[in-house]
Structure 1
Amino acid sequence: MIKTDFNIRINGEPFHCTQLMTVYDLLSYLGVDCDVNIIEYNHHILDLNKLKLVLLKESDEIEIITLVGGG
């Protein structure tokens, strides 16, 4: 049985999940644009296809990295 009420960390901050979802579902819920951000899941960078396949579970860590250019 998969636990559907669990805690993860997003950019080091606690986040409580109340349903089973993929990394992509979570990012969509948060309004994160996956085309302009790099997503790290448990210290591994995920491409867009993987975001839609990986199910979140207790104690997962998500880092949302935004690249900023300058000159």
Structure 2
Amino acid sequence: MDPMGFILATHAAQRDSHSARPDAPVIAPKARRRRAHAPRTTSVRRATAASLRNLAARIEPRRDAETCRPATP
């Protein structure tokens, strides 16, 4: 067995086990910047969702009484 590999594996295992200690250092998450305006893709996504909903309604209209069964007999 390679002695250097054993040493590196031992140190890695110790670092891993010591990272779960209560006094382990905590790295704060990066703060996300808020955009001043809505991205352009929002309107595209809403239009796409609306057109897909309309297409689904034309292909298979809803049945209010039986919502879990397909509309086709």
TM-score range, shorter chain: under 0.3
Q: Which of the pair is proportionally richer in helix?
A: 2
Q: Which of the pair is proportionally richer in strand?
A: 1
Q: Which has the greater radius of gyration?
A: 2
In the superposition, the TM-score normalised over structure 2's length comes to 0.21
